[in-house]
Structure 1
Amino acid sequence: MHSVAPYLFRCYNKDLDGRQEQRYSTLDNIGQYDLFQLLIDFINANTGAYKIVEDSKQVFQFSDLNYDENTREISGWFNVGHYGIKTDIINIETGQIDFEKAQNNAEIIKHFIHFFIPKGFNEAIAFLHAYRGIGVKTLFYSLFSNYFQGITNLVIQMNPLSYDNAINAWLDATAKEIRLTKFVGVNDIADQVRLLGHHEQELVIKPPRNNGLGKLRDYITPGSERLQAIEVIGEYGEQIKTVVEMNNKQKTFRIGRNVSTPLCEIELDEDVILDAGVPDFNSIRRWTREIVNEYAVTMYPGLSVEVA
Structure 2
Amino acid sequence: MMKKMTWIAGLLSLCALSTAYANADYPSRPVSIVVAYPPGGGIDTLARLVSIELGKRLDQSVVVQNKPGAAGSIGTAAVARAAPDGYTFVLSGANAILSPLVDPNLSFRIQDFEPVARLTETPYALAVSPGLKADTLKDLIALSKEKPGQLNFASTGLGSVQHLLGELFKQRAQIDWLHVPYQGGGPALRELAAGRVHVMFSNPIPLAPYLKEGTIQVAGVATDDRISLLPDVPTMEEQGIDDFDVKTWVGLLAPAGTPEAIRKRISDEVQHVLALPEIREAIEQQGSIVSFLPVGKFAEFLEKDEARWIRILEQSKFSSAM
* TM-score class normalised by the smaller sequence: under 0.3
Normalised to the residue count of structure 1, the TM-score between the two structures is 0.26
Is the helix fraction higher in 1 or 2? Answer: 2
Normalised to the residue count of structure 2, the TM-score between the two structures is 0.25
Is the strand fraction higher in 1 or 2? Answer: 1
